[in-house]
Amino acid sequence: MPTTKASQEILGRLTATAEHALSTLRTLGVDHAEVSVGVGKELEVGVRSDEPELVKEAQSSGLSVRVMRNERVATSSTTDLSPDAVAAFLAGVVEMAEISEPDPMAAPPEPSALASGDALPDLDLFDPDTDGIDAAKALELAKAGERAAFAADERITTSEGASFSRSSGHSVLGTTGGFLGTRLGTYQSLVVQAVADDEGGKKRNGVFWTGGRFFEDLDDPASVGAEAARRAVRTLGASKMPTGQYPVVFDKDAARAIIGLVASCILGDAVYRKRSYLAERLGSQVAAAGVTVVDDPFVARGPGSRRFDGEGRPVSRREVIQGGVLSTFLLDTYSARKLELEPTGSASGGGGIPHSSTSNLYLRAGDVEPSALLEGIETGLYVNRMMGFGFDSVTGNFSRGAEGFLIENGKLTRPVGEITISRNLDEILGGIDRIANDLEHRTSVAAPSFRVDHMTIAGT
């Protein structure tokens, strides 16, 4: 993997710390340990009314471990990497395992199942220029975004501000099973929040953002600000719509939230803990035939991309739902054992209790333009924002607050707010009858816009 000299130095130092910690833990008599050591840098700035509101700059470091002794597990973490502190910390974790209880299922992966640290793919996740973005430049970017919002529409009366942040991280995961892998990555984003005044003292806010692993991939601040303004003013005068059953079109932000709920139900943890309505559905139809959901850790510059999982296993691309059929869960070692299935290399993090997790999970794009989703809808709802936590993964019951637009005769006619949309997720996935072609890998869970044949809307 091509890295800068500075990165190599950091990774070398972290590797030494990880190896030292592993050898200390062996001396302390553990049967297994995973150690993750990392350092990070971050800058966050905010502006409001063209003035700086926040400049925050920091560096952090951390060591986290999971140890097993006599089938008992303990985890802990510390930010103090000085040798004396690390020695005391590790002794404390091993002692902590004593109060745990033997759990044969918690055994680590066989060494033969681990990825080879030398043969890991380069996923292009680190922008060597990110750390060089200083506060002055960050403030300029944020100001440019906010100014564009005010310039775009005179109805923008105030702003919740604009912010730019960048972060970079280097880390090393090592296990007593013999795995040693390095990770590094950067991320930067610009957010603009514009506010317009509405009737009755209500305000309408519009939020838009751009972000990515590489600075060069970000949208320019002017377009971000203008879109934030557009999103605020288009909701002016929003009101309820009549209670009833209607077809619903989710824009890609709202669609992503729905796919995020699916993600929470296909994770091994949720399945073995009986917290998923999909628990007994492997191999059966769980969505409309056009629905394919993919988990892909290899997306170049992807926000959720990873070279290995949190236990040091190799990762791979999986079609979780294939043509509507549930083909696999995403499993770490523990959940796989509980379910008597093969692990999928989906363990999160490293050094803590591993959990099953997604990498880049997305709904595969369809082939129609987003506007085609509205065609043929006499009266319906276009949803672009949802609120609340109204989802029960055990039953699939879904009921959330929503905002968007009324669809009349295939066109968006007026803004709608203060309503709820409800239906069981199982039925929602079965009711997806059109998927658009506007998928973007801007977030680790992503989806194109799609249409659902009907949902219940509670309004007037």
How far CA 34 is from CA of 10, 12, 109, 174, 454, in Å, comes to: 20, 18, 11, 6, 48
Which listed residue (121, 128, 260, 390) binds other proteins by CB under 8 A? 390
460: exposed, middle or buried (Cβ count in 10 Å: 0-12, 13-18, 19+) = exposed
Alpha helices in 102-241 (DSSP H): 135-152, 221-233
Can you list the pairs that 75-83 forms with residues at least 24 positions away whose Cβ atoms lie under 8 Å?
75/351, 75/352, 75/353, 77/351, 77/352, 81/17, 81/37, 83/20
> Does residue number 457 form part of the binding site for other proteins (CB under 8 A)?
yes
Distance CA 181, CA 183 (A): 7
Contact 422, 258 (CB under 8 A): no
In sequence order, the 6+-apart residues with CB closer than 8 A to the CB of 195 are 156, 157, 158, 159, 160, 203, 204, 205, 206, 232
What part of residues 28-57 is at the interface with other proteins (CB under 8 A)?
48, 51-57
Output helix, strand, coil percentages for the chain, rounded to the nearest 5.
Answer: 25, 35, 35
Question: Could you give the string, one character per residue 339-378, with x where binding to other proteins holds by CB under 8 A and - elsewhere?
Answer: -------------xx-------------------------
Nearest to 432 by CA among 329, 321, 330, 357: 321
Grouping H, G, I as helix, E, B as strand and the rest as coil, residue 141 is helix
> Residue 270: in which H helix or E strand, if any?
helix 268-272
> Does residue number 379 form part of the binding site for other proteins (CB under 8 A)?
no
Which one, 12 or 388, has the nearer CB to other proteins? Answer: 388
Which one, 51 or 122, has the nearer CB to other proteins? Answer: 51
Measured CA angle at 400 (ends 397, 405), to 5 deg: 130
> Does residue number 423 form part of the binding site for other proteins (CB under 8 A)?
yes
Which one, 97 or 224, has the nearer CB to other proteins? Answer: 97
Task: Give the shortest CB-43-to-other proteins separation in angstroms.
Answer: 10
Distance CA 35, CA 76 (A): 10
How many residues of this chain interact with other proteins, rule: CB under 8 A?
A: 78
Which one, 99 or 119, has the nearer CB to other proteins? Answer: 99
Which listed residue (28, 282, 399, 410) binds other proteins by CB under 8 A? 399
Q: C-alpha 160: how far from its chain's center?
A: 24
What part of residues 52-71 is at the interface with other proteins (CB under 8 A)?
52-58, 60-61
Task: Give the shortest CB-458-to-other proteins separation in angstroms.
Answer: 4
> Does residue number 397 form part of the binding site for other proteins (CB under 8 A)?
yes
Question: Could you give the string, one character per residue 280-319, with x where binding to other proteins holds by CB under 8 A and - elsewhere?
Answer: ----------------------------------------
What part of residues 87-116 is at the interface with other proteins (CB under 8 A)?
89, 96-101, 103, 106
> Residue 334: in which H helix or E strand, if any?
helix 333-339
Task: Give the shortest CB-119-to-other proteins separation in angstroms.
Answer: 31
Task: Give the shortest CB-77-to-other proteins separation in angstroms.
Answer: 5
Task: Give the shortest CB-171-to-other proteins separation in angstroms.
Answer: 16
Task: Please choose, out of 3-11, 311-319, 414-422, 441-449, the segment that lies near other proteins by the rule CB under 8 A.
Answer: 414-422
> Does residue number 161 form part of the binding site for other proteins (CB under 8 A)?
yes
Which listed residue (36, 130, 159, 171) binds other proteins by CB under 8 A? 159
Task: Give the shortest CB-423-to-other proteins separation in angstroms.
Answer: 6
Task: Please choose, out of 140-148, 287-295, 367-375, 383-391, the segment that lies near other proteins by the rule CB under 8 A.
Answer: 383-391
Task: Please choose, out of 19-27, 184-192, 211-219, 416-424, the segment that lies near other proteins by the rule CB under 8 A.
Answer: 416-424
> Residue 430: in which H helix or E strand, if any?
helix 425-430
Which one, 57 or 217, has the nearer CB to other proteins? Answer: 57
| Side chain identity, residue 27 | T
Which one, 300 or 394, has the nearer CB to other proteins? Answer: 394
Nearest to 282 by CA among 295, 294, 266: 266
Which listed residue (27, 116, 243, 413) binds other proteins by CB under 8 A? 243
> Does residue number 240 form part of the binding site for other proteins (CB under 8 A)?
yes
Task: Give the shortest CB-6-to-other proteins separation in angstroms.
Answer: 20
> Does residue number 132 form part of the binding site for other proteins (CB under 8 A)?
no
What part of residues 176-235 is at the interface with other proteins (CB under 8 A)?
195, 198, 201-205, 235
Which one, 163 or 344, has the nearer CB to other proteins? Answer: 163
Which listed residue (170, 400, 442, 451) binds other proteins by CB under 8 A? 400
Q: How many CA atoms lie within 13 A of 152 on its CB side?
A: 29
What DSSP character marks residue 190? E
